[in-house]
Structure 1
Amino acid sequence: MVPASSLEELSGDGSDCSEEVEITVNVGGIRQVLYGDVLNRYPETRLAELVNCMAGGYDAIFSLCDDYDPGKKEFYFDRDPDAFKCIIEVYLYGEVHMKKGICPICFKNEMDFWRVDLDLLDDCCKSHLNEKNLELEEIAKRVQTILDDLGGDTSESKWKRFQKCLWKFMEKPESSFPARITAILSFLFILISSTVMCIGTIPEMQVEDLQGNHVEHPTLDSIETVCIGWFTLEYLLRLISSPNRLHFALSFMNIIDVLAILPFYVSIILTNLGATIMGLTNVQQAIQALRIMRIARIFKLARHSSGLQTLTYALKSSFKELGLLLMYLAVGIFVFSALGYTMEQSHPDTLFKSIPQSFWWAIITMTTVGYGDIYPKTTLGKLNAATSFLCGVIAIALPIHPIINNFVKYYNKQRVLETATKHELELMELHSNGGYLGTNGSSKELSEGRGLSVGAHMKVSHSDTFIQALTEEKHHRTRLQSCK
């Protein structure tokens, strides 16, 4: 207990509240002397209030710090000293910079504790913090999705519950063993259908119809019909079970599914009814054009391949680099094709008939393809070709590295998010079972038969990377106030 004399001395000494007073703070074992005139530059912060709280007694002091030594007049804080060294700079420089290696979310919590406005954080550090917030939001969404799958709302109708189960069965192969088998079957049907489409173009595998035209073998047609039947059933089940059918129908991958299915039914309609509307030759041409659209089904593999999804995202996030690549190539193609046309005009057997025709030569030269159908014959033309080749290699190589970095960055980020999601669920499970597992506990027990308990205890458990998006409750560290 603090002596009463010390309490009277503290409350009666008004000079301690002046701007010239200096205070000693001990943050995580690191002592530092601070001056009131400097701290009062930001009067709403915790340290500035600490300078001016002496007259309020120990109740006012302990509302701001964790402990206080009246003999040394030293204030104790159980906080991160490295983060405090960054935050104290706001009183000297008017802005806060976050040191490398400090967790952005933890640093934001430190700023909230010291009551430093987040707007004082430097812009470069804000971008890092925003990126971390987005990652936590993504983890929160994944955790919430898993919890929603584990639990169920008994107040919902049977149809709603059936719809959710069907959606999880069709869209989440990891949810159950039958769902995983269905996903594998869907993947195999895509491969079989694509293989049949390729084999059907081999002349030896074709037969003649009544008109003497070569058509696909009936066996291949039967296999194609079975595959289309599977794709149709799969699409209809996913459409029926979708929570938002309009969003489902307008999704890019679902449009690909429709384009892979639709040509089959349209060709049947044209075959049976088109002959009475238009000539037989026009019907066959329309059917051939529609059958080419079957190549769209190969894009269905992206639904089952995380690698293809990662590649798609990397290309989507690399539009700027791809635009630069196309711009470099476009400028080079125009320049070298014009030079090639000009330099080759003196040769009687020139292959460069016009500048637009020279565009083809410039494209295959700068991309290092070199078909050889168009080539220079003069010495200057060959020098121009060598220069265009070297410039093409440089133009293609420069933007490739950022594109590869985007791919690696997104791939690693997805792995980190998956690991963090599992970590958060395991911590929730640990808290829901009394905060620890026994010696016989295993990781398998964490994932079997405990879904409802995880959902029930979700709001009272958190980890060192606490996801605030999962709960509205505020959690604070327990603090020692021994002298209070």
Structure 2
Amino acid sequence: MWTIPKPRYRNGLCAEGEAEIAVNIGGVRVVLFGDVLNRYPESRLAELVNCSTQNAEVISSLCDDFDPNRKEFYFDRDPDAFKCIIDVYYFDEIHIKRGICPICFIKEMEFWKIDQSVLDECCKSYLTEKEEELKEIASKVKLILEDLEVEASVTRSERCQRFLWRLMEKPGSSLPARIIAIASFLSILISSVVMCVGTIPELQVTDAEGKLVEHPTLEAIETACILWFTAEYLMRLASSPNKLHFALSFMNIVDFMAIMPFYVVLTLTYLGTTALMELANVQQAVQALRIMRIARIFKLARHSSGLQTLTYALKRSLKELGLLLMYMGVGIFVFSALGYTMEQSHPETLFRSIPQSFWWAIITMTTVGYGDIYPKTTLGKCNAAVSFLCGVIAIALPIHPIINNFVVFYNKQKVLETAAKHEVELMELKSGRDTHSKERDQEVNVGERSARNTKNII
């Protein structure tokens, strides 16, 4: 048992609140004073201290049990959480102690009728973080259930659409979906390699006009890859639940732009355009657009937890990256201006202007050092050494926060995935128990009906 000491207040309270009550919280007996509890008159304890002990109905609605002899109220609640909640009567704020689940603590506050506004700011941010984690778990569970559920009420076409959508968009849903994802990834790699190899002059052939063109074999491979990309895009579009959202998605726009150049060239060639020079210009522009299909590799980011973690780490590290860019920008401006000023005395200076010196400052501070622009005077070399050291320090400073964000989010994703799978297993176990109980009830009902029928026949 522990007793809360009675503090002294300047303003006297009503006589009703001067009484003391004993509450038993999960086996821990606590003695509280009425004048303290009445600081929050709408709370459960304040209602309990002000109610009459003769009113059994009110007492039963406020506590789990009551001993009239000892005048002790019993609550089947968490005593550790109650130790935090009782602080609000003395300090007007509550801190969630380490080891207590914040979501369960909020439920405790709701039971004791304490408003969440009394939570300290640090605890509010911690609670917000936990609520976001629960939302992420709920979203993951929803995605898993969408993959598992088969509603009997939907039509056959809707079931086929859902099956095709999971097949094309969710590689982890089945073995055929995983095979299609691997085939798509290999097609991207093959198409990219063919595009690069096709530019080698030794592998090109001469056409009827004496111009070097892509080898027919490489062109056939490229055509096969484009046909695969086209079929994949059309199947994903056909099975998409929201066609407009699918078409306006950034990665889907990239997919479309990677496919269309091939058909533009094919259409112009089939129509037999006479403006050959214009056609050649169009082909050059199309060749530049074909490189965009390499961006399809980023489509696999939603299936890779590593890439998702890296993206999140960069988003969480925008402040550090912004500071890095600011430091680098200031350093580039200062050292390029100094380098231009110090190198003007040399007759063969490579620093023609301050904007041209920006390039030298960038490759020096980032430790790249191409060597196309370099100082020739002693002061210029000293300036280059200082800029190099400042660049190393500026780049090294934000590395630790970025790595820390990466590790924290990676571990968090693993925990959320495990929690989501555990939640699905619990739901399946619960549904199995409900089904078993229903079947058992049906068997009992059948047995009762059979017994009644037998009795009537006898």
Q: TM-score range by the shorter chain?
A: 0.7 to 0.9
Match of 2:191 among 190, 193, 200: 193
Counterpart of 2:59? 61
- Residue by residue over 1:213-244, the C-alpha shift from the partner in whole angstroms, topping out at 9 and shown as x without a partner, is 32221111111111111111111111111111
Counterpart of 1:268? 266
- The alpha carbon displacement at 1:380 in A equals 1.4
Judged with a 3 Å threshold, the aligned counterparts in structure 2 of structure 1 residues 318 and 261 are, in CA distance, closer, same or farther, namely farther
Counterpart of 2:410? 411
Specify the code of the residue in structure 1 equivalent to 2:172.
E
Q: Secondary structure at the match of 2:363?
A: helix
Match of 1:162 among 160, 163, 181: 160
- The alpha carbon displacement at 1:351 in A equals 1.4
- Residue by residue over 1:224-281, the C-alpha shift from the partner in whole angstroms, topping out at 9 and shown as x without a partner, is 1111111111111111111111111111221222222222222323444474346254
Counterpart of 1:323? 322
275-284 or 72-81, larger mean C-alpha shift: 275-284
Q: Secondary structure at the match of 1:63?
A: helix
Specify the code of the residue in structure 2 equivalent to 1:226.
A
- The residue correspondences of 1:38-437 to structure 2 (distance < 5 A) are 38-273=36-271, 275-277=273-275, 279=277, 280-434=279-433
- Residue by residue over 1:323-355, the C-alpha shift from the partner in whole angstroms, topping out at 9 and shown as x without a partner, is 222221111100000011111112222211111
- The number of residues matched between the two structures is 423
Counterpart of 1:442? none
Judged with a 3 Å threshold, the aligned counterparts in structure 2 of structure 1 residues 330 and 352 are, in CA distance, closer, same or farther, namely same
Counterpart of 2:7? none
227-236 or 119-128, larger mean C-alpha shift: 119-128
For structure 2, the residue ranges without an aligned partner over 5 or more in a row are: 1-13, 439-458
- Residue by residue over 1:51-99, the C-alpha shift from the partner in whole angstroms, topping out at 9 and shown as x without a partner, is 0123443332222222223333222222112111111111111111111
Using the alignment, how far apart are the partners of 2:180 and 2:71 within structure 1? 70
407-416 or 323-332, larger mean C-alpha shift: 407-416
Q: Secondary structure at the match of 1:237?
A: helix
Q: Please report the TM-score for the alignment, with normalisation by the length of structure 2.
A: 0.86
Using the alignment, how far apart are the partners of 2:329 and 2:34 within structure 1? 64
Using the alignment, how far apart are the partners of 2:77 and 2:195 within structure 1? 66
Q: Secondary structure at the match of 1:129?
A: helix
- Residue by residue over 1:404-441, the C-alpha shift from the partner in whole angstroms, topping out at 9 and shown as x without a partner, is 23322322222111101111111122223339xxxxxx
Q: Secondary structure at the match of 2:367?
A: coil
Kindly, what percent of the aligned residue pairs are identical? Answer: 72
370-379 or 424-433, larger mean C-alpha shift: 424-433
Q: Secondary structure at the match of 2:55?
A: helix
* Contact residue 275 and residue 283 of structure 1 kept, 8 A: no
Using the alignment, how far apart are the partners of 2:226 and 2:127 within structure 1? 48
* Contact residue 86 and residue 98 of structure 1 kept, 8 A: yes
Judged with a 3 Å threshold, the aligned counterparts in structure 2 of structure 1 residues 293 and 184 are, in CA distance, closer, same or farther, namely closer
* Contact residue 255 and residue 296 of structure 2 kept, 8 A: yes
Judged with a 3 Å threshold, the aligned counterparts in structure 2 of structure 1 residues 189 and 211 are, in CA distance, closer, same or farther, namely same
Q: Secondary structure at the match of 2:29?
A: strand
Q: Secondary structure at the match of 1:142?
A: helix
Judged with a 3 Å threshold, the aligned counterparts in structure 2 of structure 1 residues 219 and 239 are, in CA distance, closer, same or farther, namely same
Using the alignment, how far apart are the partners of 2:257 and 2:428 within structure 1? 44
Specify the code of the residue in structure 2 equivalent to 1:309.
Q
Using the alignment, how far apart are the partners of 2:109 and 2:383 within structure 1? 62
Using the alignment, how far apart are the partners of 1:277 and 1:163 within structure 2? 45
* Contact residue 267 and residue 290 of structure 1 kept, 8 A: no
16-25 or 63-72, larger mean C-alpha shift: 16-25
* Contact residue 206 and residue 215 of structure 1 kept, 8 A: yes
Using the alignment, how far apart are the partners of 1:294 and 1:169 within structure 2? 22
Using the alignment, how far apart are the partners of 1:282 and 1:256 within structure 2? 22
Using the alignment, how far apart are the partners of 1:30 and 1:360 within structure 2? 72
* Contact residue 23 and residue 73 of structure 2 kept, 8 A: yes
Q: Please report the TM-score for the alignment, with normalisation by the length of structure 1.
A: 0.82
Specify the code of the residue in structure 2 equivalent to 1:422.
K
Using the alignment, how far apart are the partners of 2:131 and 2:219 within structure 1? 52
Using the alignment, how far apart are the partners of 2:206 and 2:295 within structure 1? 27
Q: Secondary structure at the match of 1:32?
A: strand
Counterpart of 2:3? none
Specify the code of the residue in structure 1 equivalent to 2:395.
I
Using the alignment, how far apart are the partners of 1:104 and 1:309 within structure 2? 27
- The alpha carbon displacement at 1:112 in A equals 0.8
Match of 2:30 among 25, 29, 32: 32
* Contact residue 204 and residue 212 of structure 2 kept, 8 A: yes
Specify the code of the residue in structure 2 equivalent to 1:318.
S
* Contact residue 17 and residue 54 of structure 1 kept, 8 A: no
- After superposing on structure 2, the runs of 4+ consecutive aligned residues of structure 1 that deviate more than 6 Å are none
* Contact residue 258 and residue 290 of structure 2 kept, 8 A: no
- Residue by residue over 1:333-380, the C-alpha shift from the partner in whole angstroms, topping out at 9 and shown as x without a partner, is 000000111111122222111111111110000000011111112221
Specify the code of the residue in structure 1 equivalent to 2:152.
T
Using the alignment, how far apart are the partners of 2:143 and 2:291 within structure 1? 39
* Contact residue 270 and residue 283 of structure 1 kept, 8 A: no
Judged with a 3 Å threshold, the aligned counterparts in structure 2 of structure 1 residues 252 and 414 are, in CA distance, closer, same or farther, namely farther
Using the alignment, how far apart are the partners of 2:55 and 2:159 within structure 1? 60
249-258 or 37-46, larger mean C-alpha shift: 249-258
